[in-house]
């Protein structure tokens, strides 16, 4: 079981809810992914009252937990204000904290992120910070009160997978007791399996599923990949070698001359 801020979850695949072709496809994709947590942008859902009511009807029918995010925020003040609105609207202390620092890559502003996390944790929020794989930033976020970290695999929506394997592996090794969720940049199920094989606790996927030719089938594929990657990690994969090692022993074999 995956535990996030005291909540036990059977699924290790979190799903974003943006950019799906229709509410029906979103609903079917959530079911196919067997996701128990979905992220929601406060700004998108608050854009229209009817749209918001329809979304809530869908979420209630599926029985999933909402993780509101501060997507699109570029300052500490903006992110903190949005988090307060999200807590009031969605009735949850959970918040996926995003403070964007660079428009082309949507890289987090780690300085603003650390400050916003400190403020929100002190106010009783349970913060899921969207961050980089930087170890110093991770230390500051944990010191601020974050018990979950969400490092990017690569830029949001890029589909490039895990761009910095060394950095992500180092992050996992340095913080073995912290829940780590790879967020952003996963493009295909094998990327999710790779993250789980590295020892990450879960992955969050949105664009790769929502923009697939068949989002429902892709959601199911990601669910299988996450389970396979987790099983492989628990099974104990072999260490990579620089030279070949025969899988069939040569001792005792007959040699013809």
C-alpha 63/C-alpha 234 separation (Å) is 29
What is the residue-wise DSSP string for 48-68?
-HHHHHHHHHHHHHHTPEEEE
Q: Is 96 a catalytic residue?
A: yes
Integer Cα distance of 140 and 4 in angstroms: 19
Catalytic residue among 87, 96, 140, 191: 96
Please answer whether residues 163 and 194 qualify as being in contact, where contact means their C-beta atoms are separated by less than 8 angstroms: no
Q: In Å, how far from its chain's centre is CA 231?
A: 18
- Please report how the helices 215-235 and 23-33 are oriented relative to each other, as an axis angle in degrees rounded to 10: 20
Nearest one of 29, 46, 34, 123 to 90, comparing CA atoms: 46
Active site residues: 96
């Amino acid at each position: 079981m995956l535990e996030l801020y005291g909540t036990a979850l059977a699924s290790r695949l979190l799903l974003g809810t943006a950019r799906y072709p229709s509410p029906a496809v979103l609903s079917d994709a959530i079911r196919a992914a067997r996701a128990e947590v979905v992220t929601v942008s406060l700004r998108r859902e608050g854009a229209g009252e009817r749209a918001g009511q329809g979304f809530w009807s869908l979420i209630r029918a599926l029985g999933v937990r909402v993780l509101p995010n501060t997507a699109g925020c570029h300052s500490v003040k903006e992110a903190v204000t949005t988090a307060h609105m999200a807590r009031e609207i969605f009735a949850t202390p959970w918040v996926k904290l995003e403070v964007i620092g660079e428009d082309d890559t949507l890289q987090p502003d780690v300085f603003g992120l650390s400050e916003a996390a400190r403020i929100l944790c002190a106010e009783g929020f349970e913060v899921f910070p969207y961050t980089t794989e930087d170890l110093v930033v991770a230390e500051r976020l944990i010191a601020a009160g974050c018990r979950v970290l969400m490092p990017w695999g690569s830029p949001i929506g890029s589909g490039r997978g895990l761009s910095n394997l060394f950095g992500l592996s180092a992050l996992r090794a340095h913080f073995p007791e912290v829940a780590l969720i790879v967020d952003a940049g996963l493009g295909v199920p094998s990327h999710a399996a790779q993250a789980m094989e590295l020892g990450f606790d879960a992955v969050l996927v949105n664009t790769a599923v929502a923009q697939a030719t068949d989002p429902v089938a892709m959601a199911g594929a990601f669910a299988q990949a996450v389970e396979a990657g987790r099983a492989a990690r628990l099974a104990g994969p072999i260490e990579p070698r620089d030279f070949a090692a025969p899988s069939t022993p040569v001792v005792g074999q007959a040699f013809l001359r």
